[in-house]
């Protein structure tokens, strides 16, 4: 047997004491505490790591007795001399410097002419035993509480709950205790029952509403609360300390056990969180269970009353026997003597005109499980009144021979009678509408849109359409393209004001357009909500065309153009102006009379001019309109941006004759966008400060070591030219490396160029890695970079694409490091790779951080939206990145992969000559 096994056996009293021969050295000098005693029990020497925690130390003059180290109650254990203790297991409690008791167990053995007291710490064993005893007591108490609440009557349940709260309060000396449940609307918490001690403050009253303050807590474990740290809970605990314990069921937190004026960690340190959760479950579980049973009983009573009032009820048929079970209320409504009857007897209650169809539908329900929905009439041969109508529904439950058919029958006689009266009135109204010269229509209101549901017969001779030709999308497509905005505004005005009168053109079945006067009124229900719109179309083509000819006169057109605040002009395909209004002349710092003959290309760069002409070349009679943002260098301004819309005028051969243009100044908006992009870039540089410092410190450390080595050689007189050359070359390489990092920071921090330029996206990847790679690896993030060196060109700003990549990688890094804080074994990585085809380049940034909450994916690119704590993230990084990629003609998207988030930057390929 080894020395360790003997030691553990003696500790547990499983082996006889060691023999009395003299030992030359302690068996475990480096474990616990060893006390060298003389024959009278005085301490001669202390060894072992526990000697430093003892309150009493061995002085230099006279050795203290062992009792000087022990608590008073240990004096009986060590009565006599060490020779009397031999062969006994000694449990001793020592004074310590910290004031806590040190529990040790040991034995005495002879050592030379003295004695050795070998001791080991058994504090953990005693603590575990005490906690186990407390746990058993708590489990027994929780079982007793739950059993009492389950066995008592429903009327005595509140009184019994108060008694159990009192029992729990007296057991753990809790001044105030209460159980809080959700109110009837389940919108807040209220005190269900409470108990307070004789001299304790009255913190709560039964039925007191607590609001939703408890919802702000983490409901997974008991919590000790300080009202100063939880201001929303001051109304619950006042200025007193509190202790709350949640109770969970299938719907989440269903109850709270509140302990007021009670620091649980001090008053009941041996009671674990699990014990408190057991007490909450023992109190709340039976109470909620019995309350739900009571509510279910009340609901069943209400259901029976409702069936009797509506003249309806449930029915059930079994597949193994042709019998039907009816609800008592339904059997009474059908004047049946029994609630259970044969299937044929039940079918005899149905009118012969509906009986065979019902029998067939029941057979389909039984064989195929096809849901049953049918309206049938009751049949009473001797009744003078018309038959009653019933809505019959059913479904199949179970499979095979144990399949059950269940459903209900609802009396709809009143509805059917009203439908018949309405049908007769509708027929009379149809005859009246068909004779009207105008087209009368009805549009139903559905979720903010108006959908056509009726047109009078005059629609066919006027436009050659039927109702099926006038679906919502088909109707919009038949509106003249120039009038579609007017048509949409007509709908918005109708919904907003309740009535509208508008004119627009509609294409008939032959392809000709008709001017229609549309007058409509919106009908609302009793609550003021829209139901449908009723209106008419009147053909006013001849009158409108006559008015348009007058309106299009040159003088009125010119007055309209001159008074417009927008820039309006006409120019030829070579960009030479033939007309311009006053706002355009003001921008170009000349008079309107000086505009004809000027060339718009004079204020554009060569690239802008070429792009402008290419856009005009794409105009055609089928697609005569084009809109774009153009950049000009105007007099007295550095740069200006205009939103410019062109409309081509073509001859009969499709040749472009003239362009009519309208523009507005977008300079301030564009500069604001640039400023936002630059601000986001500066914020990105700030977030990368730590990584950049590491990137620069690395070459500095290499240079410092090289210089130290050279100085040592110089000091020893051992100077070799080759050695000095090698060190100087190494220092020069590190200087260049640091200079590249600083230069790249300076280039990245500059404002972007005015005009987009072609570049290889691999440059942005390389620049991003030069700023982030070392910092990422220093934080333990593995970078997986695939081959991205293929030759391809995209148009945009290389520094802005680099800014997008930095934002994506920094966000991924933050998510990975946050996950590693909770899981130290987690191995984070970020992958960057690219792919291309004939039209697109795709850059991918992927991580293994677990992905993004699917509920947040649709909002991830919204401005100021962030999942980081307050003061950490601005919420602009991804929003600005989305705008940068979109401005380059591409798209930024995100989805969750198997291990984490996967962002894709998709950019169009440009051909560079």
- Give the pLDDT confidence score for residue 336 in this predicted structure: 81
- Give the pLDDT confidence score for residue 735 in this predicted structure: 65
For 202-272, where are the alpha helices, taking DSSP H only? 234-237, 264-267
- Give the pLDDT confidence score for residue 603 in this predicted structure: 78
Instruction: Give the span between the Cα atoms of 775 and 130, in whole angstroms.
Output: 50
CATH of domain 3-121: 3.30.450
- Give the pLDDT confidence score for residue 904 in this predicted structure: 93
Instruction: Give the span between the Cα atoms of 530 and 904, in whole angstroms.
Output: 44
- Give the pLDDT confidence score for residue 906 in this predicted structure: 93
Which CATH architecture fits 675-908?
2-Layer Sandwich (3.30)
Q: Which two tokens stand for residue 462?
A: 């006027």
Which CATH architecture fits 553-665?
2-Layer Sandwich (3.30)
Instruction: Give the span between the Cα atoms of 692 and 742, in whole angstroms.
Output: 9
- Give the pLDDT confidence score for residue 905 in this predicted structure: 92
Instruction: Give the span between the Cα atoms of 205 and 808, in whole angstroms.
Output: 54
Q: Any idea what DSSP says for residue 848?
A: -
- Give the pLDDT confidence score for residue 362 in this predicted structure: 84
Answer whether 311-416 and 435-545 agree in fold.
Answer: yes
For the chain, the domains span 3-121, 134-296, 311-416, 435-545, 553-665, 675-908
- Give the pLDDT confidence score for residue 907 in this predicted structure: 92
CATH of domain 134-296: 3.30.450.40
User: What is the H or E stretch that residue 586 is in?
Assistant: helix 582-587
Q: What values do phi and psi take at 67, rounded to 5?
A: -65, -25
Beta bridge partners of 382: none
| Cβ–Cβ < 8 Å for 764, 818 | no
Residue range 311-416 forms a domain whose CATH class is alpha beta
Residues of the chain with pLDDT under 50: 1-28, 690, 748-752, 870-872
For 665-674, b where at least 16 C-beta lie within 10 A, e where not — what string?
A: bbbeebeebe
Mapping DSSP onto H, E and C, the string for 257-285 reads EEEECCCHHHHCCCCCHHHHHHHHHHHHH
pTM score:
0.36
| Cβ–Cβ < 8 Å for 304, 310 | no
- How confident is the model over 461-495, as pLDDT tens digits? 888 888 887 776 778 888 899 988 988 898 889 88
Number of residues assigned to the chain: 913
Give CATH superfamily name and number for 435-545.
Answer: PAS domain (3.30.450.20)
Instruction: Give the span between the Cα atoms of 16 and 411, in whole angstroms.
Output: 92
Strand 252-260 and strand 389-397: pairing?
Answer: unpaired
Rama region for 211: left / alpha / beta (φ>0; ψ in -120 to 50; rest):
left
From the CA atom positions of the chain, what is the Rg in Å? 45
- Give the pLDDT confidence score for residue 682 in this predicted structure: 55
3-state SS class at 166: helix
Instruction: Give the span between the Cα atoms of 602 and 623, in whole angstroms.
Output: 27
Instruction: Give the span between the Cα atoms of 369 and 394, in whole angstroms.
Output: 10
Cα–Cα–Cα angle for 358, 360, 366, nearest 5°?
100
For 778-792, b where at least 16 C-beta lie within 10 A, e where not — what string?
A: eeebeeeeeebeeeb
Terminal alpha carbon distance of the chain: 89
- Range 875-879, long-range pairs (CB < 8 A, 24+ positions): 876/676, 876/679, 876/680, 876/683, 877/680, 877/683, 877/684, 877/807, 877/810, 877/811, 878/807, 878/811
List Cβ neighbours of 475 (8 Å cut-off, separation of 6 or more). Answer: 452
Instruction: Give the span between the Cα atoms of 35 and 46, in whole angstroms.
Output: 5
Place of tokens 């074994």: 825
């Amino acid at each position: 047997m080894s020395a360790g096994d003997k030691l553990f056996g003696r500790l547990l009293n499983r082996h006889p004491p060691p023999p009395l021969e003299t030992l030359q050295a302690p068996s475990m000098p480096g474990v616990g505490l060893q006390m060298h005693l003389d024959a009278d029990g005085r301490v001669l020497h202390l060894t072992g790591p526990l000697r430093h925690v003892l309150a009493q130390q061995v002085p230099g003059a006279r050795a203290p007795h062992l009792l000087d180290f022990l608590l008073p109650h240990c004096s009986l254990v060590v009565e006599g001399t060490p020779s009397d203790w031999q062969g006994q297991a000694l449990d001793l409690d020592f004074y310590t410097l910290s004031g806590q008791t040190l529990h040790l167990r040991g034995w005495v053995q002879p050592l030379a002419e003295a004695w050795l007291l070998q001791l080991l710490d058994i504090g953990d064993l005693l603590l575990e035993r005490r906690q186990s005893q407390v746990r058993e007591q708590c489990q027994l108490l929780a079982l007793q509480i739950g059993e009492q609440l389950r066995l008592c009557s429903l009327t005595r349940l509140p009184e019994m709950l108060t008694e159990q709260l009192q029992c729990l309060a007296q057991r753990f000396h809790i001044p105030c205790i209460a159980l809080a449940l959700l109110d009837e609307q389940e919108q807040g918490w209220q005190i269900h029952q409470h108990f307070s001690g004789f001299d304790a403050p009255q913190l709560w009253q039964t039925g007191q509403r607590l609001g939703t303050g408890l919802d702000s807590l983490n409901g997974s474990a008991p919590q000790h609360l300080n009202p100063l740290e939880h201001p929303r809970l001051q109304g619950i605990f006042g200025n007193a300390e509190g202790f709350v314990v949640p109770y969970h069921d299938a719907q989440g937190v269903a109850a709270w056990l509140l302990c007021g004026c009670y620091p649980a960690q001090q008053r009941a340190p041996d009671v674990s969180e699990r014990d408190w959760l057991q007490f909450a479950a023992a109190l709340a579980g039976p109470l909620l269970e019995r309350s739900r049973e009571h509510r279910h009983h009340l609901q069943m009573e209400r259901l029976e009353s409702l069936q009797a009032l509506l003249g309806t009820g449930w029915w059930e048929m079994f597949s193994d026997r042709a019998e039907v079970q009816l609800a008592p209320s339904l059997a009474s409504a059908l004047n049946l003597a029994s609630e259970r009857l044969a299937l044929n007897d039940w079918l005899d209650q149905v009118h012969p005109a509906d009986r065979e169809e019902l029998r067939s539908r029941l057979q389909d329900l039984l064989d195929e499980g096809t849901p049953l929905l049918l309206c049938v009439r009751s049949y009473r041969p001797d009744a003078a009144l018309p038959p009653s109508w019933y809505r019959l529904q059913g479904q199949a439950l179970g499979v095979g021979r144990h399949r059950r058919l269940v459903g209900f029958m609802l009396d709809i006689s009143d509805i059917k009678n009203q439908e018949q009266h309405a049908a007769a009135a509708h027929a009379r109204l149809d005859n009246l509408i068909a004779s009207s010269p105008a087209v009368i229509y009805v549009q139903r209101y559905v979720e903010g849109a108006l959908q056509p549901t009726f047109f009078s017969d005059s629609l066919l001779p006027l436009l050659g359409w039927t109702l099926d030709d006038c679906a919502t999308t088909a109707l919009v497509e038949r509106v003249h393209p120039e009038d579609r905005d007017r048509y949409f505004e007509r709908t918005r005005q109708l919904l907003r004001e309740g009535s509208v009168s508008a004119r627009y053109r509609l294409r008939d079945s032959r392809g000709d357009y008709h001017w229609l006067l549309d007058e409509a009124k919106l009908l609302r229900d009793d609550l003021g909500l829209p139901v449908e719109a009723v209106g008419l179309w009147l053909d006013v083509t001849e009158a409108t065309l006559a008015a348009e000819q007058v309106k299009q006169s040159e003088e009125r057109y010119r007055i309209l153009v001159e008074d417009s605040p927008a820039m309006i002009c006409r120019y030829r395909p070579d960009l030479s102006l033939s007309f311009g209004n006053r706002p355009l002349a003001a921008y170009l710092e000349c008079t309107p009379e000086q505009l004809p003959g000027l060339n718009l290309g004079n204020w554009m760069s060569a690239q802008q001019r070429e792009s402008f002409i290419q856009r005009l070349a794409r105009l055609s009679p089928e697609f005569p309109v084009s809109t774009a943002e153009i950049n000009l260098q105007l007099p007295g301004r550095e740069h200006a941006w205009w939103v410019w819309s062109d409309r081509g005028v073509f001859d009969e051969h499709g040749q472009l004759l003239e362009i009519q243009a309208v523009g507005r100044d977008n300079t301030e908006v564009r500069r604001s966008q640039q400023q936002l992009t630059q601000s986001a870039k500066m914020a990105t540089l700030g977030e990368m400060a730590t990584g950049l410092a590491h990137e620069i410190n690395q070459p500095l450390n290499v240079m410092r070591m090289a210089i130290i080595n050279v100085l040592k050689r110089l000091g020893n007189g051992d100077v070799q030219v080759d050695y000095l050359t090698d060190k100087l070359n190494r220092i020069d390489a590190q200087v260049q490396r640091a200079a590249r990092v600083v230069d790249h920071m300076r280039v990245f921090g500059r404002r972007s160029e005015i005009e987009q330029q072609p570049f290889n996206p691999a440059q942005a990847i390389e620049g991003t890695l030069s700023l982030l790679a070392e910092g990422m690896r220093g934080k333990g993030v593995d970078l997986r970079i695939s081959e991205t060196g293929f030759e391809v060109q995209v148009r945009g700003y290389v520094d802005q694409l680099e800014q997008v990549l930095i934002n994506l990688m920094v966000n991924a890094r933050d998510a990975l490091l946050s996950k590693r804080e909770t899981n130290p074994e987690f191995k984070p990585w970020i992958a960057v790779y690219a792919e291309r085809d004939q039209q697109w380049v795709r850059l991918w940034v992927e991580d293994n951080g677990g992905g993004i909450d699917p509920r947040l994916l649709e909002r991830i690119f919204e401005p100021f939206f962030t999942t980081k704590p307050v003061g950490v993230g601005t919420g602009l990084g991804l929003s600005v990145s989305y705008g940068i990629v979109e401005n380059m003609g591409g798209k930024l998207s995100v989805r969750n992969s198997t291990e984490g988030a996967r962002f894709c930057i998709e950019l169009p390929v440009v051909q560079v000559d």
